[in-house]
Amino acid sequence: MRLSRYFLPVLKETPREAQIVSHRYMLQAGMIKQASAGIYSWLPLGFKVLRKIENIVHQEQERAGHIAIQMPTIQSADLWRESGRYDAYGEEMLRIKDRGGREMLFTPTAEELVTDIFRAHVTSYKDLPLTLYQIQWKFRDEVRPRFGVMRGREFYMKDGYNFDLTKEDALHAYNRHLVSYLRTYERMGLQAIPMRADSGPIGGDDTHEFLVLAETGESEVFYDSQITDLKFGDRQIDYDDHAACAAVLDEFTSRYARTDETHDEALFNEIPEERRRTARGIEVGQIFYFGTKYSDAMGAVVDDGKGGKVPVHMGSHGIGVSRLLGAIIEASHDDKGIIWPEGVTPFHCGIINLKQGDAEADAACLSLYDSLTALGLEPLYDDRDERAGTKFGTMDMIGLPWRITVGPRGLKNGVVELTCRRTGESEELPPADAVAKIATIYQGIA
């Protein structure tokens, strides 16, 4: 993309309404625009990152054997009456009437609707296990929407639902989700720690939240510092292997890590003092096992192969897709702007032309642009007729991990400058070598 033809409404002034850095940078970098409290339009740069995150989530869900569907945002109140949640959900649920006076609602989550799909089409244990998921907009009329996309009223969520014949199979689905979530967050450059949590309006006893440690996080968390040494890395886990998934769960959840809702001071104090940590975290996902809560209430049963009919065991599993943009920025920025991890960056590399209109500089930039594009990479070429300082400022704010700077002086010596946004380190090298280096960096990522 050439910046002169793009739509990147970078703000010159610091937006005053933003209390935390991710919200400020998302506004300043022209990624989002507030439409009303807790509701945002996604401008091109923000939308691009949202799509990258969404793609990673899809890829990891498919890898785990889960099947994508899409359910409507507007649902009938009657379905929610069957589970009893229409009344129980309270003011967080946005209730709407259609022209015929029928009660509808904007989905805050979708246990009821997915259970309705299941009961209409699945009758036999032979069709299990089954996990259906979607990535869809949700609405929760939060009392205090704040921090931009971090606590929105409208937000983008991956929600997945497993249907299993037995509790044991459903617990495997829970473990499988935990494993897939660890992979998902690591691909985004994040460490998200599974912590024992409270289940709230979703219900059930078994639940873990995934938290990214950050000073600006809304949750207070307590954990054993050893947990931050754990990395999932590039392990190849067979998602059908119950024991392998259970082993990962054990490894990642056996040390103390809890949100304030489930914190147990006595247990915490059993950890050696130098390993006890109290911090704040951003909840980027949550997994639940709730057994037959919805299948009992809504009659989602299958024949068990022994002549009987049994309600299916279920769980639901969410990832805060839009919130993740905020979480990634909180975890990865400096005082000049965002620093995108390679896995989610909106463009792979920036190209800055220090002397727009200089025939040689223009040609070198276009040639870099073409070479990168031919390799399947997406560069952002700042071809505006602006001062170098303005171009560097924009590039630093929008946070592309790599930048190639092209100027007449370097070109005389046959070199361009390649700069790493994270470390600030630069090296001069021939254009072809810069392209080769960027290609290597993104191998297996882009």
Residue 151 as a binder of ligand 5CA (CB under 6 A): the answer is yes
Other C-beta atoms within 10 Å of 202: how many?
18
For β-strands 206-213 and 154-164, DSSP reports them as: unpaired
**Which residues, other chains included, contact 183 with Cβ-Cβ below 8 Å and sequence gap of 6+?**
60, 63, 232
Residue 316 as a binder of ligand 5CA (CB under 6 A): the answer is yes
- Tell the smallest beta-carbon distance from residue 319 to ligand 5CA (Å): 6
Q: Which of 32, 53, 57, 157 binds ligand 5CA (CB under 6 A)?
A: 157
Residue with tokens 């805050």: 108
Ramachandran bin of 152, using left for φ above 0, alpha for ψ from -120 to 50, beta for the remaining angles = beta
Q: Report the distance separating Cα 370 and Cα 381, nearest Å.
A: 11
Residue 152 as a binder of ligand 5CA (CB under 6 A): the answer is yes
Binding segment for ligand 5CA (CB under 6 A), chosen from 245-253, 317-325, 361-369, 425-433, is: 317-325
- Tell the smallest beta-carbon distance from residue 28 to ligand 5CA (Å): 20
Residue 315 as a binder of ligand 5CA (CB under 6 A): the answer is no
Q: Which of 25, 106, 118, 155 binds ligand 5CA (CB under 6 A)?
A: 155
Residue 311 as a binder of ligand 5CA (CB under 6 A): the answer is no
**Which residues, other chains included, contact 109 with Cβ-Cβ below 8 Å and sequence gap of 6+?**
138, 157, 159, 202, 316, 318
Q: Which of 46, 217, 281, 285 binds ligand 5CA (CB under 6 A)?
A: 285
Q: Which amino acid is at 67?
A: I
Give me the phi and psi of 8, to 5 degrees please: -130, 80
Residue 329 as a binder of ligand 5CA (CB under 6 A): the answer is no
192 versus 380: smaller Cβ distance to ligand 5CA: 192
Residue 330 as a binder of ligand 5CA (CB under 6 A): the answer is no
**Which residues, other chains included, contact 347 with Cβ-Cβ below 8 Å and sequence gap of 6+?**
1, 48, 378, 379, 380, 400
How many DSSP H helices and E strands does the chain contain? 14, 23
186: nearest Cα among 71, 324, 288, 297: 324
Binding segment for ligand 5CA (CB under 6 A), chosen from 11-19, 265-273, 319-327, 381-389, is: 319-327
Ramachandran bin of 286, using left for φ above 0, alpha for ψ from -120 to 50, beta for the remaining angles = beta
| Residue nearest to ligand 5CA as judged by C-beta position | 320
- Core vs surface per residue 97-127: b (16+ CB within 10 A) or e: eeeeeeebbbbbbbbbbbbbebbeebeebee
68: nearest Cα among 78, 57, 76, 81: 57
109 versus 184: smaller Cβ distance to ligand 5CA: 109
- Tell the smallest beta-carbon distance from residue 220 to ligand 5CA (Å): 16
Residue 32 as a binder of ligand 5CA (CB under 6 A): the answer is no
Q: Considering only residues 106-145, where is the footprint of ligand 5CA by CB under 6 A?
A: 109, 140, 142
Q: Which of 317, 391, 403, 421 binds ligand 5CA (CB under 6 A)?
A: 317
- Tell the smallest beta-carbon distance from residue 252 to ligand 5CA (Å): 17
2 versus 146: smaller Cβ distance to ligand 5CA: 146
39 versus 432: smaller Cβ distance to ligand 5CA: 39
Q: Any alpha helices (H) in 188-235, and if so which ranges?
A: none
- Tell the smallest beta-carbon distance from residue 157 to ligand 5CA (Å): 5
Q: Which of 93, 128, 284, 331 binds ligand 5CA (CB under 6 A)?
A: 284
State the DSSP code for 225: G
Interface ranges with ligand 5CA (CB under 6 A):
109, 140, 142, 151-152, 155, 157, 159, 202, 283-286, 316-318, 320, 322-323
